[in-house]
Amino acid sequence: MNDPPKLTEYGLPVDPQSMVTPPEATELELEPGQPGIEDAGYVERRRELFGRCRRHRLERLGPPLVDYTSEETRIWREVTPKLDELHVTHASQMYLQAKRELAITQHEIPQLRHLGERVERETRMHLVPAEGALPYRIFYQYIGERGFPVTQFLRHGSHPEFTPEPDMIHDCLGHVPPLMNHDYAEMLTLIGKAASAATHGEHVLALKRFSWFSIEFGLIEEAGETKVFGSGILSSTGEIPYSLLSSEVTREPFVTDTVITTDYDPSRMQDHLFIAPSLPFLRQELETLVRRFGL
């Protein structure tokens, strides 16, 4: 009998089975040293939103309407103009068009419930409230059902330009706009279905890396220029110029077999990126990969 394959993720060995059946947090967990962990009011707010969003997710109630505090609005108003300015110059056309159609303003934090209704009319994707980062396979199970999990809390005000975990700014300005694009929505749904159907840890890991280097941290070719495509880059004022201009970053053409065997460290700025020639190319590559895995 063959030994199960040995897998490495984030530089460490990982149990293939934990890729297939990942553990799920049932209570708010903040990392030591995370901004806001010493701020009792912030932690309390995070707990409250965690409980509400988790309940709405599990009971399939859609995103709750949230009364954002003046501090949360202040953070939104501080970060979004800086991101908007960078997007105009560096984001892909597909993203810019979708963001205009969603009419997301710098002034008020949008309600995900309303954004979700608009997205659903366009591409039949809907938004699922998430209490925090969900394990990859659970995340993609929702996506396979055309639901995109989104958080509703904001990062701590002491570090408005940095968040070690996905928050409302990352989700709302990074992930939600591309859901308005039909090719993108179909590609996502296919990853979701494949990740849900996969029973081998190495297949889940390969799909996770495919998503990471495209949907989260992908660059894309557009009219002879390299533009930002990935949501992780689009939602970070530091990561946008770093990804395109820094000499520390290796940028190479998106070759699926290289991508799915490339490890990454999610806790730092991404210094190894792949440039896809187009969105239809990514979709086709994914379809080929999924077929190859027999999913």
| Residue numbers at the binding site for Fe ion (CB under 5 A) | 166, 231
Q: Which is nearer to Fe ion, 167 or 200 (CB)?
A: 167
Nearest distance, CB of residue 40 and Fe ion, angstroms: 28
Nearer to Fe ion, 130 or 200 (CB): 130
Residue whose entry in the numeric block shows the structure tokens 């969003």: 53
Q: Name which of 195 and 200 has its Cβ closer to Fe ion.
A: 195
Rounded distance, CA 176 to CA 154, Å? 16
Which of 177/200 has CB closer to Fe ion?
Answer: 177
Cβ 145 to Fe ion shortest distance, Å: 18
Exposed, middle or buried by CB within 10 Å (0-12, 13-18, 19+), for 140? Answer: buried
- The upper half-sphere exposure of residue 119, i.e. CA atoms within 13 Å in the direction of its Cβ, equals 26
Q: How remote is the C-alpha of 153 from its chain's centroid?
A: 15
8 Å CB contact between 95 and 220:
no
Q: How far is the CB of 6 from Fe ion (least distance, A)?
A: 27
Q: Find the shortest distance in angstroms from Cβ 95 to Fe ion.
A: 14
Q: Which is nearer to Fe ion, 166 or 178 (CB)?
A: 166
Strands of the chain, DSSP E: 7-9, 12-14, 126-129, 147-150, 219-222, 225-228, 250-253, 272-276
Closer CB to Fe ion, 231 or 236, in the complex: 231
Could you tell me the smallest distance in angstroms from the CB atom of residue 2 to Fe ion? 34
Closest approach of Fe ion to the CB of residue 160, in Å: 18
Query: 86-120 burial, b for 16+ CB within 10 Å, e for fewer?
Result: bbeebbbebbbebbeebebeeeebbbbbebbebbb
Specify the residue, 168 or 200, whose C-beta has the smaller distance to Fe ion. Answer: 168
Q: Work out how close the CB of 294 gets to Fe ion at its nearest, in angstroms, rounded to a whole number.
A: 28
Minimum gap (Å) between residue 260 Cβ and Fe ion: 18
The number of residues making up the chain comes to: 295
Contact 123/42 with Cβ under 8 angstroms?
no
Chain center to CA of 172: 10
Cα(82)–Cα(75) distance, integer angstroms: 12
- Strands 147-150 and 7-9 come out as unpaired
Q: Which of residues 216 and 285 has its CB atom nearest to Fe ion in the complex?
A: 216
CA-atom Rg of the chain in angstroms: 18
